[in-house]
Amino acid sequence: MADAGYDYDLFVIGAGSGGVRAARIAAQSGARVAIAEEYRIGGTCVIRGCVPKKFMVYASDYGRKLQEARDYGWKIESDGFDFERFMSNMHAEVDRLSGIYLRNLANAGVDVFEERAELSDANTVVLKESGKTFSVDKVLIATGGTPWRPSPEELPGVEHTMSSNEVFQLDELPKHIVIAGGGYIACEFAHIFAGLGVETCLVYRGDTVLNGFDWDVRTAVHEGLKEAGIRVITSAVFEEIQEVEGEACPYCVKLSNGMELNADKILMAVGRRAATDGLGCDAAGVKLAENGSIIVDDASRTSVPNIFAVGDVTDRIQLTPVAIREGHAFADTIYNDKVWSFEHDNVASAVFTQPEVGTVGMSEAEARKAFKNVDIYKTRFRPMKTMLLDDPERVMIKLVVNADDDRVVGVHIVSPDAGEMIQMIGVAVKMGATKAQFDATCAVHPTIAEEIVTLRQKWVPDTEPA
């Protein structure tokens, strides 16, 4: 354990997913631990990310389900969507979860400071409101990320836009929203707002959304956005945002291609940056990458031996479960004599578009770079449920196989419940399962997921249906 001369053995800056897990595990081992949070306990995931976003996805999807139920014979009358009621219920749940995080920390014996903390040197943490100063043996930086927006010089009128943080604080639903970006957040919120009846326009600088994902996922999601009634404008960026006098849509967004779009809300979803501004990394000697993220080794150790960092602030993989594992590995290694580090390969993830994306392992393009011979198995079809519906929705399932050792190195799904499916199939991919083992697994019928184990025909480019 640490030198008793320090106020704390471990000071964690940031009470999000990674920081809370690390603080709890370290404290349970007997270490004297403190944690500081400048906004709300729970961090981005619980307060203004994954959790409230998923509730918004559910809310949005109910509109579609009502219509589907009618097609299945239910007589349903609807008075429309009560946004205020939904937001109030959602915030009550977020408050409850934040309270649980706080209680868990307290039960583990962690001292919690609900104010901003900064480093003044490698062993000193200063609390910005109270001015309290603590000497600390080790520091864990888990401050996460923050939405990035261009400066007013780069985008005049940017002050009229909101980020994903503000979406969760809206008092009423917008009527016309314009969204910038083509990544996770832009695509998820485009579907959420469109599903809630908001006229939605997405502006993306590339030609097909979800850059970095498998090509078949990208094209399926791109088509799905349009099928959901979202206006998708590609190869364009915002050039200026002007206020319009006396209009129902008070803003006019001017695009680089000359188009002009009217909106009452504008969402910038053009990426997130590590939250290291003003943290005192310089003073402590912690080295940052060019994009402001903290450089760490496999053990999450920074350039300063007693300072560690986990989660989005390190810009490895920006996902809650990854931050939790990194935080847990750090605390086990340092305080529990259990040395391990998180492996960043084959991390399954979901994009909560409608339908969802589930993905694990390599895209086809990545596999073709890594291996000499790659086999592709894929299918695109209308799921059984939609046969009774006036709904063109199709699902996509794709397996990427290293043909030389038969291992399935990537699975990509665009389908209702793809997030649930990929969690399961992620186990097999992580274990290094072969295509023969997928084939030997008996199907569950009738399901969408059965296609994962019944795909027999190798895809040959020439035979792809038009």
CA-to-CA distance for 310 and 87, rounded, in angstroms? 31
Check residue 300 and give left, alpha or beta (phi > 0: left; psi -120 to 50: alpha).
left
Closest residue to ligand NDP in the complex (CB): 183
Residue 144 near residue 312, CB atoms below 8 Å: yes
Q: Which residues face 376 on adjacent strands?
A: 400
Residue 298 near residue 291, CB atoms below 8 Å: no
Query: Which residue number, 70 or 273, has a Cβ lying nearer to ligand NDP?
Result: 273
Burial class of residue 117 in the structure, from the number of CB atoms within 10 Å of its CB (0-12 exposed, 13-18 middle, 19+ buried)? buried
Burial class of residue 219 in the structure, from the number of CB atoms within 10 Å of its CB (0-12 exposed, 13-18 middle, 19+ buried)? middle
CA-angle at 230, arms to 229 and 231, nearest 5°: 115
Query: Which residue number, 181 or 327, has a Cβ lying nearer to ligand NDP?
Result: 181
CB of 339 to ligand NDP, least distance (A): 27
CB of 318 to ligand NDP, least distance (A): 3
3-state DSSP assignment of residue 334: helix
Which tokens in the block code for residue 459?
A: 């895809």
Query: Which residue number, 183 or 416, has a Cβ lying nearer to ligand NDP?
Result: 183
Query: Which residue number, 11 or 189, has a Cβ lying nearer to ligand NDP?
Result: 189
Which tokens in the block code for residue 38?
A: 């400048």
CB of 325 to ligand NDP, least distance (A): 14
CB of 167 to ligand NDP, least distance (A): 12
Closest among 227, 211, 197, 183 to 82, alpha carbons compared: 197
CB of 54 to ligand NDP, least distance (A): 9
CB of 51 to ligand NDP, least distance (A): 11
Query: Which residue number, 68 or 239, has a Cβ lying nearer to ligand NDP?
Result: 239
CB of 187 to ligand NDP, least distance (A): 8
Residue 355 near residue 397, CB atoms below 8 Å: no
CA-to-CA distance for 242 and 2, rounded, in angstroms? 57
Query: Which residue number, 145 or 280, has a Cβ lying nearer to ligand NDP?
Result: 145
CA-to-CA distance for 147 and 280, rounded, in angstroms? 20
Count of H helices and E strands in the chain? 13, 21
Which tokens in the block code for residue 2?
A: 């640490």
3-state DSSP assignment of residue 333: helix
User: β-strand 145-147 against 272-274: which pairing, if any?
Assistant: antiparallel
Query: Which residue number, 207 or 404, has a Cβ lying nearer to ligand NDP?
Result: 207
For 459, which DSSP code?
Answer: P
CB of 453 to ligand NDP, least distance (A): 25
CB atoms within 10 A of CB 354: 22
For 149, which DSSP code?
Answer: -
Judged by the rule CB under 6 A, the positions of this chain that interact with ligand NDP are: 180-186, 188, 204-206, 211, 237, 269-272, 318-319, 349-352
Displacement of CA 156 from its chain's centroid (Å): 28
Catalytic residue status for 445: yes
CB of 264 to ligand NDP, least distance (A): 21
Catalytic choice (191, 222, 344, 445):
445
Query: Which residue number, 50 or 367, has a Cβ lying nearer to ligand NDP?
Result: 50
DSSP E strands in 68-147: the ranges are 111-113, 117-121, 124-127, 133-141, 145-147
Q: What share of the chain is helix, strand, coil (3-state, %, to 5)?
A: 35, 25, 40
Query: Which residue number, 249 or 357, has a Cβ lying nearer to ligand NDP?
Result: 357
C-alpha atoms less than 13 angstroms from C-alpha of 34 in its C-beta half-sphere: 23
Burial class of residue 277 in the structure, from the number of CB atoms within 10 Å of its CB (0-12 exposed, 13-18 middle, 19+ buried)? exposed
List residues with catalytic annotation. 445
